[in-house]
Structure 1
Amino acid sequence: MLTIKNYYLAQSGDGKQFINFELVGNIEVFQSNSGKFYVDIKKCKMPTRLDEATAKLMIGKQISGTIVKKECAAYEYAIPATGEVVTLTHRYEYEP
């Protein structure tokens, strides 16, 4: 199960506004290269055709499905905590 954590206004290539949901999965425990454990969650954004008032009502609701890692064309990403720019070749997507 996934939870709708939040929603964001976004703009398509042709300038139309739409709503993206931020979906989050369950807590996962990972072990780093140094051997220490840490907790993380997978998250992704999913476009909707809902209006903003309806999107607000959906926050906290659960939907079936999972978040999977998918390969994609390389792109640059700035890590929010450090500002470091890294090149990624994957993204996370919703899968029913």
Structure 2
Amino acid sequence: MVKIVDFKTYQKEDGTEFCTLKVQAGVEAVKSKETGKMYLTARTASVPCTFNQATCEALIGSELSGTIRKISVEPYEYTVPSTGEIITLTERNEFVSEEEAILQDNLVKKEEVF
């Protein structure tokens, strides 16, 4: 399960607006690559939606069945808000519905035959 914790409004190039919902998974323990110590965190992801701002605000606190998974993507630059440091990332978090997660976990990938 994930919980809707916030939303953000964006403006497209044509001037129209759309919203994304920020969803957050449960708490998990992670080992720091820098210090080797454990810390607690919760994965978050943004999910585009067709709702207006009022609906998004009303949905905060609602739960959805699904999970947040880390997926590999093309390298991209990210600015750390607290330090201003620019880093290169190769993964991002993505919301996956419960049904899609079951399919991804249980389907056998067909090998290509040449």
TM-score, normalized by length of structure 1?
Answer: 0.91
Name the structure with the higher strand share: 1
Higher relative contact order (CA 8 A, sep 6+): 1
The residue type equivalent to 2:74 in the other structure is A
Deviation by residue 1:45-75 (Cα, 9 ceiling, x = unmatched):
0011011111111001010100111111111
State the match for 2:10 in structure 1: 10
State the match for 2:23 in structure 1: 23
Which region of structure 1 is more displaced relative to structure 2, 79-88 or 5-14? Answer: 5-14
The residue type equivalent to 2:90 in the other structure is T
SS of the equivalent of 1:39 reads strand
Percent of aligned positions that are identical: 34
The residue type equivalent to 1:94 in the other structure is F
SS of the equivalent of 2:93 reads strand
State the 1:13 CA deviation: 4.4
TM-score, normalized by length of structure 2?
Answer: 0.78
Q: Counterparts of 1:1-96 in structure 2 under 5 Å?
A: 1-33=1-33, 34-96=35-97
The residue type equivalent to 1:47 in the other structure is P
State the 1:12 CA deviation: 3.1
User: Aligned pairs, how many?
Assistant: 96
Name the structure with the higher helix share: 2
- The whole-number CA distance in structure 2 between the counterparts of 1:25 and 1:13 is 31
CA RMSD, aligned part only?
A: 1.3
List runs of 5+ in structure 2 lacking aligned partners.
Answer: 98-114
- The whole-number CA distance in structure 2 between the counterparts of 1:23 and 1:65 is 10
